[in-house]
Chains A and B, each alone.
Chain A
Amino acid sequence: MTQYSIPLRPWLPIAALVVAALAAGIVLMLVNPFADGSFLPPCPLHELTGLYCPGCGTTRALHALLHGSVPLALSMNPLAVITVLAIPVMLWNSWRPGHAWMARISDARIWLVLVVAFAVLRNLPWEPFVRLAPG
């Protein structure tokens, strides 16, 4: 069987993730993505098509979370807030599987439905779906 997996140690991607999260946190403490002309990149899909992807508003949501405003974060991208909570659970589950509720959160089929549904709903132009768009 051919395997193209990168021969890295198992903890390396997680270490890279922690470093990236810290770097993103430091940048977002210093730079305001709500400001006009911010150099933080916008969503490529939204720039090209005007459509909102499931990740649109994530930068602003993380900025709001870091500055203590959960309602603002939720209004920018509720899925990003859920993801921030779910990622540690998933990492723990892949390290020490065994808890049923963690296995459920780590079930990709649920996430597939969630992400696709979110992508469709936040582009609908009617209340209450417009609230899902970051604006």
Chain B
Amino acid sequence: MPHAVTEYGLGTPPSASRGTLVHVGNNLVWAILATIFCCLPTGIVAIVYAAQVDGKVSAGDTAGARESARLSAIWSWVSFGVGLFFGLGWIALVLLGHSFGR
């Protein structure tokens, strides 16, 4: 099972009947971390997809919820990647500046 999706069927397969509790992880933690700590608009996209997960779970659309959770995770990773690239690039430039004087 991929780490992004957690499901809790109560004894029956998730799609069996109405009233079966299906929980799809919305990956919100990573979306928020990506937005606040990587400081990027792409993090907001991740939060938008995370918000779709909860709505789709409420509507009984488990497949759609899984897809939104997957997209949310991808956008979070994009944010982390760009944030890391910018952060390390910045530190490298500052160190270069220090080593070459002012």
A contact residues vs B (CB 8 Å cutoff): 1, 3-10, 12-13, 17, 37, 39-46, 53-56, 58, 77, 79-80, 83, 86-87, 90-91, 94, 97, 106-109, 111-112, 115-116, 119
Chain B residues closer than 8 Å to A58, beta-carbon distance: 36-37, 39
Distance in angstroms from B2 CB to nearest chain A CB is 3
- Given the interface contacts A53-B39, A97-B23, A108-B47, does A90 sit within 8 Å of B29 by beta carbon? yes
Once bound together, how far apart are the Cα atoms of A87 and B36, in whole Å?
12
- A112 and B70 within 8 A (CB): no
Q: What is the 8 Å Cβ interface bit string for chain B, positions 15-27, against chain A (1 contact, 0 not)?
A: 0000000010110
Once bound together, how far apart are the Cα atoms of A86 and B36, in whole Å?
13
Chain B residues closer than 8 Å to A109, beta-carbon distance: 51, 54-55
Of the residues B8, B28, B35, B90, contact of A54 by C-beta under 8 Å: B35
- B28 and A108 within 8 A (CB): yes
Label chain B's interface by main secondary structure. Answer: helix
What is the size, in residues, of chain B's interface with A at 8 Å between Cβ atoms?
42
B contact residues vs A (CB 8 Å cutoff): 2-6, 8, 23, 25-26, 28-33, 35-41, 43-44, 47-48, 50-51, 53-55, 63, 70, 73-74, 83, 86-87, 90-91, 94-95
- B26 and A106 within 8 A (CB): yes
Chain B residues closer than 8 Å to A44, beta-carbon distance: 39-40, 83, 86
Once bound together, how far apart are the Cα atoms of A119 and B39, in whole Å?
11
Once bound together, how far apart are the Cα atoms of A58 and B34, in whole Å?
12
**Chain A residue at minimal CB-CB distance from B52:** A108
- A39 and B91 within 8 A (CB): yes
Distance in angstroms from B48 CB to nearest chain A CB is 6
- A12 and B3 within 8 A (CB): yes
